[in-house]
Amino acid sequence: MEARRDVFQAIADPTRRAIIGMIAEQPVNVNTIAEQFDVSRQAISLHLKILAECGLVEFRQTGRERLCEAKLDKLEEVHAWVQHYHQLWTSRFNSLKSFLEQEELESKTTGTPAKQPSRQISKRKK
């Protein structure tokens, strides 16, 4: 039942992202969060549970209230993952024009469309 509870999975849901946005600045209790949404309190409670299971949210019991606090540093995994590709596509963009220009140049020179299937991996293992 308890499946994978990773951060990527947790932030996949727009409601949960909205919850994070709501408590990022300061802790908020469960009912206050729930009031901001159209779904039931139980639904929000479940979202919070999911967020808590991957460490994105921690609870602090104060009397009968339960403050929900965002632990933003748990987003580090996502940040690192995206950052990697961000750098990749950024540097690629910088060299895109020159690449295309060169390709076009070759095409004009040799007369062939600069075919690229030579860049495949195509390693079979079965």
Partner DNA sequence: TATAAGTGCAAGTATTTACTTGCGCAATGG
Partner DNA sequence: CCATTGCGCAAGTAAATACTTGCACTTATA
Which residues lie near a copy of itself (CB under 8 A)?
A: 4, 6, 8-9, 11-14, 17, 20, 24, 26-29, 32, 35, 58-60, 62, 65, 67, 69, 72-73, 75-76, 78-79, 81-83, 85-86, 88-89, 92-93, 116-126
Total chain residues near DNA (CB under 7 A): 30
35: amino acid identity, one letter: E
At position 56, the amino acid (one-letter code) is L
| Range 54-73, binding DNA (CB under 7 A) | 59, 62-67
Which residue in 72, 39, 76 sits closest to 57, CA to CA? Answer: 72
Candidates 26, 38, 115, 116: give the one binding DNA (CB under 7 A).
38
Nearer to a copy of itself, 85 or 105 (CB): 85
Give whichever of 69 and 75 is closer to DNA, judged by the CB atom: 69
With beta carbons less than 8 A apart as the criterion, state whether 30 and 41 touch. yes
Residues sharing a CB contact under 8 Å with residue 108, sequence separation 6 or more, in sequence order: none
Q: Are strands 57-62 and 65-70 parallel, antiparallel or unpaired?
A: antiparallel
